[in-house]
Structure 1
Amino acid sequence: AAAAIPANIAAALSDPSRPAADMVRDEARHPGEVLAFAGVKPGAKVADLIPGGGYFTRIFSKAVGPKGKVYAYVPDELTKMAKREPAVNAIARDPAYANVTVILNTLPNFAAPEKLDLVFTAQNYHDMHDKFMGPADLSVVNRQVFKALKPGGVYMVIDHAAEAGSGLRYTEDLHRIDPAVVKSEVTAAGFIFEGESKVLRDPADPRKANVYDPSIRGKTDQFVYKFRKPASAR
């Protein structure tokens, strides 16, 4: 049986201010299980790193509640490529999401105004290795994430899995990354790998197609990795 979804997360998922288009995606994205695995509690301070359309930003906002805070961090490199205002700006302007603040800065400058309980990035880690992002030096980015977290804080990475042993070969053309690369890069920054949720795993995905290919879109094999900053770390 699936683990029970904590009340604050269940309430966030059914919140009437969520767009219907987001709710339709819940079946494939399993946000309840994902946030429960991350340990999102009321009052938490969360950074949604590369928030895209704000699907998770909205859920975090309601799950952490009025005493919590959500920082939607949009790298300048992405805004420059997209040539449009970040979608999360509209969320931050909405009174229903008063605890959301957008941060616009470069990826290597990742930081927040206060220490965080969680840094979360979904389907974006592979992008950080791509040309349009610099490419960024992930050892710098992951150290910045480490510094931004409270001792004992969580860094959660969800991404589309590439074939084992493929390294960074498919980050640009397939939008996938070898999970082993993520694990080695993040632990090199000082994090402890705490475990994986299999909720987005799909063994039927041959991991050879572009994630936007109609044959596989929305059904890719994704890994959900949870890393923790040691409680003794500063």
Structure 2
Amino acid sequence: MKAVYPILCAVSLMATGSAFAAPTLEQAVKSESRDIRLVARDSIRHPLEELQFFGLRPDANVVEIWPGGGYWTQILAPYLHDKGVYTLALGPEDGAGSAFSKMVAAHPELNRTFRTAQFDGEHLDFSPPNSADFVLTFRNLHNWMEAGNAPQMLAAIHRALKPGGIFGVEDHRGHTNAPQDPRAEDGYVRQSYAVSLIEKAGFKLVGTSEINANPRDTASWPKGVWTLPPTFALGDKDHAKYAAIGEGDNFVLKFQKIGH
């Protein structure tokens, strides 16, 4: 099947919408238009520091894979709107009725500020080859491992990036006291395993950050990382205990594409 790239499918979920005045990255993070429930997680997720660590700039061509509830969309869309290109690579779970689609419906100011590319397990072309300056994904590597298509996803990311382009990855860090489950069914990925997996796909590790580290997370919970906030998979059981532990321990890794 011939790939249909995002330049052909700019998002238009609202009938009307106003353009953003180009903010700085700090202004985009501190914008009053962001959902207050997402802003409440900034002290844990450190969006400004993480995007600065990746080296993001306003004129970049950026692809984000799997936006989830749109935490990063509300920051990246206005920041990149005037000078850059922002493409959201959406999976089947991001369609109508998803947390992402509901977020966009609640924020009409995001109208026409990003492009979308739909992909599935068989067709992973979400950007023309050698076109993206940055590909970013947040807490998704374990999902690709569970689906068994991590090598294919990483190969697609490598194709999409320009030579020397940056691949930014955040995910739940597994401890080294147990072998890595290749399916990462508990949501945790050992950092060394992630680095090895990604470097095999043609990337070079060029930076690590501990901004989202949480030493209270032992990576050994009844329902995996989802035992912890914000999911609280056990419901009310030991809720205070898990709330005190906080969100999972997360690595933040910066890779550069090598080769063509």
How big is each residue's C-alpha offset from its partner over 1:160-180, in whole Å with a ceiling of 9 and x where there is no partner?
Answer: 1112252225721x2111112
Identity %: 27
Q: CA deviation at 1:43?
A: 1.5
CA shift, 1:96, in A, is 3.3
Q: Which secondary structure does the structure 2 equivalent of 1:53 belong to?
A: coil
Structure with more relative contact order (C-alpha pairs < 8 Å, separation 6 or more): 2
Do the aligned residues in 1 keep the contact of 2:77 with 2:110 (CA within 8 Å)? no
Letter of the aligned partner of 1:105 in structure 2? F
Q: Report the Cα offset of residue 113 of structure 1.
A: 4.6
Q: How far off its partner does 1:200 sit? A: 0.6
**Partner amino acid for 2:110?**
A
Contact 1:155 1:226 in 2 (8 A): yes
Deviation at 1:147, TM superposition (A): 0.8
Residue 226 of structure 1 is matched in structure 2 by 254
Match for residue 99 of structure 1 among 107, 113, 131: 113
Give the Cα separation in 1 of the matches to 2:67 and 2:198.
20
Q: Distance in 1 between matches of 2:60 and 2:77?
A: 10
Q: 1:109 aligns with which of 113, 121, 124?
A: 124
**Does the 8 Å contact 1:142/1:186 carry over to 2?**
yes
Give CA deviations for 1:106-141 in whole Å, capped at 9, x if unaligned. 1451421571111111111101111xx3x31x2221
Cα distance in 1 between the residues matched to 2:118 and 2:110: 21
1:57 maps to what in 2? 73
CA RMSD of aligned residues (A): 2.3
Which sits farther off after the overlay, 176-185 or 33-42?
A: 176-185
Structure 2 SS opposite 1:185: helix
Indicate which of 149, 153, 158 corresponds to 2:161.
Answer: 149
Aligned match of 2:192 in 180, 199, 206? 180
**Aligned residues of 2:217 and 2:248 also touching (Cα < 8 A):** yes
User: Which consecutive segments of 4 or more residues in structure 1 shift more than 4 A?
Assistant: none
Q: How does 1:1-80 map to 2 (within 5 A)?
A: 8-76=24-92, 78-79=93-94
Deviations 1:80-129 (A, max 9, x none): xxx85344345388343522122221145142157111111111110111
Partner of 2:235: none
| Residues 212 and 249, structure 2, Cα contact 8 Å, conserved in 1 | yes
Q: TM-score, normalised by structure 1?
A: 0.83
Corresponding letter in the other structure for 1:59? I
In structure 2, the gaps of 5 or more residues are 1-22, 229-241
C-alpha contact 1:38 1:156 (8 A) present in aligned 2: yes
Partner letter of residue 58 of structure 2? P
Q: Distance in 2 between matches of 1:181 and 1:222?
A: 14
Q: Size of the alignment, in residue pairs?
A: 217
Q: Which has the larger radius of gyration?
A: 2
Separation in structure 1 between the aligned mates of residue 83 and residue 111 of structure 2, nearest angstrom? 12
**Residue of 140, 149, 157 corresponding to 1:124:** 140
